[in-house]
Amino acid sequence: MVGKQHQNGVGLNYDTWSRRHYLVATAGIAALSGCASSGDGGGTPEPDEETPTPAAGTDTPESNGEDEEEELPEGVSREEFESGPVPEAYTTATSLATETRDPDSLQSKADVLFAEYDEATENDAHQPGSCCGNCSEFIPDKNGDTFGACAKVDGYIDGADWCTIWEELPEPSVPEEMSESELATAEVPSQYRTAESQGGEARNPDDLFAQEDVNLTESVEAIADGAAQPGQSCGNCAEFIPDKNGDGWGACAKVEGYIAVEDWCTTYEHISEVL
């Protein structure tokens, strides 16, 4: 882990740009800077030159080109997988956007044209980069089987899936007495400074990456651009520290500044890896 790094003087005016545009722009600048560097960037994370290992819960194509049926959690039948019931931990759990799941008011997968990501891209209603992992209704994995659930749809749900009721995660408002330009490097509220992430890692405020160094951007944008795999977002990352004070923001055990559940960066680690 590198020491804390700050990037000052970024030539972008947050007062005229939305945070979402800024994240996309700075991610692009960081990527170009990385390409131009000599490779001795003093601790800045570098892309892995080997073929990356897919994140937990992500399907991989078989060498023979044939589709492989999705592996089910141990002891779960195909019928249970598609229509429930889901494990008790999800029955009335809250989604990424804090919506409580009501098991008596759910739609079937068939009703919402539920599909895996590759198939979903053929649907005209699909927005590039959108998937369950960055949907307001998604409930991330809670028991290590790589699957989650949904506040609106029955059955087991993979973060890389998609359906027609996909709903964009809300963008948090900029906290009072703070400008957008301060979000990336601001000291987070006391509840987060040494908090544990949802994967159990304690945050060390003196040992964090700068957001620019890890290409922090929105999950939808990262997946659409091919930087992230379908299903990945801060919301189901082991390093994420969810909202603790009701302002909609979270933090990260690896990255400084304010972090939204809708974000993504190159330090992403699937929550299933640590459960």
**Alpha-helical regions (H) of 87-126:** 88-91, 117-120
What local confidence, expressed as pLDDT, does residue 68 receive? 63
69: in domain = no
Round to whole Å and give the CA distance between 149 and 89: 10
Q: What is the CATH number of the domain that holds 210?
A: 4.10.490.10
188: in domain = yes
- pTM for this entry: 0.77
Q: Please list the residues that pair with 237 across neighbouring strands.
A: 270
Question: Do 219 and 174 touch, CB atoms closer than 8 A?
Answer: no
Round to whole Å and give the CA distance between 86 and 88: 6
| Chain centroid offset of residue 248 CA | 15
244: in domain = yes
What local confidence, expressed as pLDDT, does residue 8 receive? 36
Residue scoring higher pLDDT (20 or 149): 149
Q: Which of the 8 DSSP states describes residue 201?
A: P
245: in domain = yes
Residue scoring higher pLDDT (24 or 214): 214
Question: Do 120 and 129 touch, CB atoms closer than 8 A?
Answer: no
Structure tokens at 15: 């007062």
Residue scoring higher pLDDT (119 or 6): 119
Nearest by Cα to 71 from 59, 53, 83, 85: 59
43: in domain = no
120 phi and psi, to 5 degrees? -65, -30
- pLDDT digit string (tens) for 180-202? 999 999 999 999 999 999 999 99
Range of the domain at 268: 19-31+176-273
132: in domain = no
231: in domain = yes
Most confident of 14-18, 27-31, 225-229: 225-229
Tell me how crowded residue 113 is: count the other CB atoms within 10 A of its CB: 15
Residue scoring higher pLDDT (17 or 218): 218
Weakest mean pLDDT among 36-40, 75-79, 115-119, 253-257: 36-40
What local confidence, expressed as pLDDT, does residue 45 receive? 53
- pLDDT digit string (tens) for 129-143? 999 999 999 999 999
Residue 36: which pLDDT band, with cuts at 50, 70 and 90?
A: very low
DSSP β-ladder status, 149-150 and 138-139: antiparallel
What does each C-alpha distance from 167 to 128, 262, 265 come to in angstroms?
13, 11, 21
Residue 208: which pLDDT band, with cuts at 50, 70 and 90?
A: very high
Round to whole Å and give the CA distance between 265 and 232: 9
Residue 70: which pLDDT band, with cuts at 50, 70 and 90?
A: confident
Round to whole Å and give the CA distance between 196 and 7: 25
- Per-residue burial over 192-205, b if 16 or more Cβ lie within 10 Å, else e, is beebebbbebebee
Tell me how crowded residue 245 is: count the other CB atoms within 10 A of its CB: 13
Residue scoring higher pLDDT (37 or 82): 82
126: in domain = no
**pLDDT > 70: percent of the chain:** 75
Number of domains in the chain: 1
Question: Do 59 and 71 touch, CB atoms closer than 8 A?
Answer: no
